Amino acid sequence: MNTLVLKRTPWERFKKGLFKYWEYYLMLIPGFALLIIFSYAPMYGIMLAFKNLRMKKGIWGSPWANPWYLHFKTFFDSPYAYRLLRNTLIISITKVVLAKLAAVGLALLLNECHTSWYRRMVQTVSYMPHFLSWVVIYGITYLLCSESSGYINRVLRYFDSPTVSILTSNSAFRPMLYITHIWKGTGFSSIIYLATMTSIDPTLYEAAQVDGAGRLQRIWHITLPGIRSTFVMLCIISAGSIMNAGFDQVYVFYNELVYETGDIIDTYVYRVGLEDMRFGLSTAVGLFKNVIGFILVFSTNKIAQHWGEGIW
């Protein structure tokens, strides 16, 4: 006896799931509301990148820029464009690479530590800086590195050595960003990798040990391949923020003396938009940065798909 099976349309399947799991959908409403209000509704302001804003007329009533790419041209013709792009890419890529390596390295060390109390203590101490604001971290850095009253320069003066201006030195500014970024985020980031490592089948380690594999060999052939998918996924997510370089950290740490190596796109957008009130130019630069980030996410995911590790 042949039975006729009617396939439901996607809309019918959605309605059935909506009525069946209505409590879960109800719980999603606050999250969707926040997403729409703070992420999608502000996209209305993107029009400023193509308009000459008149405060009295508002965004919609302001005239369109002539030509439409006027603000983009203004940015790329400025003497700051190359410096901003260079600093943003160097700082951001270096921070991502160092942070990923440090997080994986700490997770490997903790995973190989079999003394539970010591492992918990190191985990607690390492991820506590994550909860400190960059203002507090700058205060700690200032106490250590200030040329006039910092502890490092106090020690140098005690030994009659010349002091160093770490906070106002172009050569020291980027390393200071990298060090504080790693110190603040490594412990918290390592939790994801450590959780992945603990989910690896322990019989694989036992079999490798029986076959005579040493600790480093087990890490290379079992642990690292076991966290590869997580590592690739986090790299794809990080690709979208390559053009950010960490505004809050850079803004707190930098000053006019280190603009040559520390000024990034986000700090430029802040100065031009909120301080100089050139909203069209700042919106155009921000839009350019976000489009590049969007392209990087899709490109990174496409490359990862060749290894079977793409997110979608």
Nearest to 106 by CA among 119, 117, 94: 119
The pLDDT of 148-160, averaged and rounded, is: 87
The SS3 assignment for 92 reads: helix
- Give the chain's radius of gyration (CA, Å): 26
What is this structure's pTM?
0.84
CB atoms within 10 A of CB 98: 15
Residue 152 burial (CB < 10 Å; 0-12/13-18/19+)?
A: middle
Tell me the pLDDT tens digit for each residue of 120-147. 898 889 989 999 999 999 999 999 988 8
Distance CA 132, CA 126 (A): 12
What's the burial of 150, exposed, middle or buried (CB within 10 Å: 0-12/13-18/19+)?
buried
Band of residue 1 on the pLDDT scale cut at 50, 70, 90: very low
Quickly list DSSP for 216-235: HHHIIIIIHHHTHHHHHHHH
154-168 average pLDDT score: 87
184 vs 99: CA distance, rounded Å: 10
